[in-house]
A and B are shown apart, each in its own frame.
Chain A
Amino acid sequence: MTRHLLAGVFLVGLLLSATASEAPQQMKPFVRGSWQDVLRSHAGRPTLVHFWGVTCGPCKVELPLLGKFMTDHAGIDVVTISADLVPDLPGATRSMLEKAGLWPAENWTFSDGFVERLRFEIDPAWQGDIPRTILISRDGTMTTIEGSAEMKELEKWSDQQLAVKR
């Protein structure tokens, strides 16, 4: 009886772990307070946060470059935040991230209709222009890049961050 119970627990455990590993990754809903969650969860790690949107022309050009950057820089945490309010179109958002090679990143999407408040929490001066990238250093220093980022600039920042000992 005990043996059966243990076996059952083991089987359930196996099933659960298999489910967890195979579960499709989802976009995280970015709501009030999410920005502080992002900052907390990446504290002490060099992190690139990229704001983009599905209808933004320059974003379509930049996303694949960021996907390659992420592949080439395993030591940098990459977070994307779709700052378009995309009504009922999570598929389009996911499709663009997948094509750009960014689906394995930590991906968020604005999920509060009051976008002014979401933007205000991130940067009170931000009016919603995208793309926009915030580079967060190990020491928490934030550098904002308005518009498409120059990959050379990202490389330089990355090299500096990875050269700093943990």
Chain B
Amino acid sequence: MIDRLNRGNKAMLRTGLLGTIAFALSLTAAPAQMNHQHASEAACDESVLRCASKVTPTFAPDGTLWLAWMAGGQVSVASSKDGGHSFSAPVQATKEHLNLDWGPDARPKIVVDRKGGIALAFSVFRDKAFNGQVLTTRSTDGGKSFDALRPITSSNESQRFEALGLDPDGSVFAAWLDKRNRVPAEQSGQKYDGAGLFFASSKDGGATYSEARLASDNTCECCRLGLAFAAPGHPVVVFRNIFDGGVRDHAIVTFADPATPGEVRRVSKDDWQIAACPHHGPSLAISATGTYHVTWYTNGKARKGLFYDRSQDEGRTFSDPIPVGRADRNPTRPYILAGPRGMTMVWKEFDGEKTTVNLMTSRDDGQSWSKPTAVAATTDTSDHPLLVSDGQNTFLSWMTKADGYRIQPIGDGS
């Protein structure tokens, strides 16, 4: 297991010594400061990796591991040529301290294309009403510098929960949740639920995006999206929809091409009728066989907990959902990846004191799964566990407040 803490740890130690002196000099200020740190999801307030609350990994086509993270109101990147043992000096993609979207399902997104170009996207809160805005930027010099931030769309209505993916055709595809249709609906006296699933794509590595278009309206407004590609030019998005009667079950849409969304199809009938923000989005992977693999959380009448199912006909029909994790350990935050040796799934469980990341694998395209095993643990707050592959191995990527960032190779379940 590789468990790497970055240079920020040394900075923390130094700060700790200085902090001791400061504590002796200013006893009155200490409780507020300590309370602030205790209350935060982050270990510290700087922009370094050690202070990150959310870290997103990706492998570039040349095998370089890239991380994008949010910390101290900034989005930064760093890379590793040795699988996460050491990282380059971080580079801030943002210039000013931003009110970054701190929702549980928000995180910066990063893709690296075949030319080494880096596209980033993330959300900020742009006003006191917590309306969001999706911002993008790119680097054409190997992550040494980033262009000025640009909104992904000219609309001034709220946008959040962007997903960003490198289409095998070389373009960058983006989808997000957008509330622009709320205004005309309310002006005409109609009730508007949720948000629209909007999308755009970029043919210049994330410098500019096509005009935003609607894929599906009235979807759940507060959960992350799952994005994968069925083939070049065929993005697939899974999302928590709002079906008739306010049922927030999952749906999937396969694009005929990057500008043409297909039919919205239901992933499962959980019957979770709720007027609430679950803050708990799905995960999607598509294996080389073309099988769709979906994992999600529900608290519906038909089933409660984490579930997995698969489709071999582009989402027209899905297998019976199978439960994931121990129901008495509060399983959450599932993530699934189609790797070089099969499927891998991770999720969190919590026993009242400790959070573990649990893992299971499948070598028959999701028909059967290995027994779950705990592969990492922490005793304070943590980011969602993510999986990433360099084409040869699969890694767990997990940021924790107490133990820092880890990128950990995982077995293939054999």
Q: B22 interface residue, CB < 8 Å from A?
A: no
A92 at the interface (CB under 8 A from B): yes
The 0/1 profile, CB within 8 Å of A marked 1, for residues 93-106 of chain B is 00000000011100
Binding stretch for chain B, among A18-26, A71-79, A119-127, A157-165: A119-127
Looking at the complex, which one of A57, A59, A116 makes contact with B381 (CB distance below 8 Å)?
A116
Given contacts A29-B35, A117-B352, contact A87 B276 (CB under 8 A): no
The interface residues of chain B, by DSSP majority, are classed as loop
- A147 in the interface (beta carbon within 8 A): yes
Find A132's partner among B38, B276, B350 (CB 8 Å cutoff).
B276
- Residue pair A127, B280 in contact (C-beta under 8 Å): yes
Residues in B with CB closer than 8 Å to A113 are: 38-42, 380-381, 401
Q: How far is the CA of A55 from the CA of B130 in the complex (A)?
A: 6
- In this complex, the interface size class of chain A, counting residues with CB under 8 Å from chain B, is 35 or more
Docked-complex contact B39 and A56, CB < 8 angstroms = no
Q: Is A131 in the interface zone, CB < 8 Å from B?
A: yes
B39 and A129 form a contact (CB under 8 A): no
Interface pair A147/B222, CB less than 8 Å apart: no
Q: Determine whether the beta carbon of B102 is less than 8 Å from that of A57.
A: no
Residue from B39, B104, B274, B330 within 8 A of A124 (CB atoms) = B330
Partner of A146, one of B42, B221, B299, B355: B299
Determine if A81 is an interface residue (Cβ-Cβ < 8 Å). Answer: no
Check A114/B381 contact, CB under 8 A, given A55-B103, A92-B128, A124-B330: yes
| Chain A, 121-166, CB within 8 A of any chain B CB | 124-125, 127-132, 146-148
Residue of A31, A114, A120 with most chain B CB atoms under a 10 A cut-off: A114
CB distance from A133 to the nearest CB of B (A): 10
Given A127-B330, A127-B332, 7 further pairs, Cβ under 8 A:
A84-B103, A85-B41, A113-B39, A113-B380, A114-B381, A116-B350, A129-B277
Judge if A46 is at the interface, Cβ distance under 8 Å: no
Give CA–CA (A32, B139) in the complex, Å.
44
Task: Judge whether B299 and A56 touch: CB under 8 Å.
Answer: no
For this complex, into which size category does the number of interface residues on chain B fall?
35 or more
A29→B297 CA distance, assembly (Å):
29
Per-residue CB proximity of B305-341 to A under 8 Å, as 1/0?
0000000000000000000000010101000000000
Q: A54–B41 Cα gap in the complex (Å)?
A: 17
With a cutoff of 8 Å between Cβ atoms, the chain A residues found around residue B401 in the complex are 113-114
- The residue in chain B whose Cβ has the minimal distance to the Cβ of A30 is B39
B150 close to chain A: CB less than 8 A: no
Please, how many angstroms separate the alpha-carbon atoms of A92 and B355 in the complex? 30
State whether the Cβ of B275 lies closer than 8 Å to any Cβ in chain A.
Answer: yes
Q: Is the CB of A146 within 8 A of B277?
A: no
Cα A116 to Cα B380 with chains together (Å): 9
Contact flag A111-B276 (CB < 8 Å), given A120-B352, A124-B352: no
Whether A115 is near chain B, meaning CB under 8 Å from some CB there, is: yes
Q: A29-B39, A87-B102, A114-B381 are in contact. Are A129 and B352 (CB under 8 A)?
A: no
Q: Which residues of B contact A117 (CB under 8 A)?
A: 350, 352-353
CB atoms of A58 and B276 under 8 A apart? yes
Contact A111 B299 (CB under 8 A): no
Instruction: Check if A128 sits within 8 Å of B330, measured CB to CB.
Output: no
Contact, CB under 8 Å: B276 / A131: yes
> B189-203, CB under 8 A of A: which get 1 and which 0?
000001000000000
A128 touches B39 (CB 8 A): no
Q: Whole-angstrom distance between the alpha carbons of A87 and B194 in the complex?
A: 25
Given A85-B102, A113-B380, A116-B350, decide whether A127 and B221 contact each other with a Cβ distance below 8 A: no
Contact status B222-A55, CB under 8 Å: yes
Residues on the A chain within 8 Å of B116, using CB: none
* B279 proximal to A (CB < 8 A): yes
Contact at A128–B279, with CB atoms within 8 Å? yes
Interface residue ranges of A69-127 to B (CB < 8 Å): 84-88, 92, 95, 110-117, 120, 124-125, 127
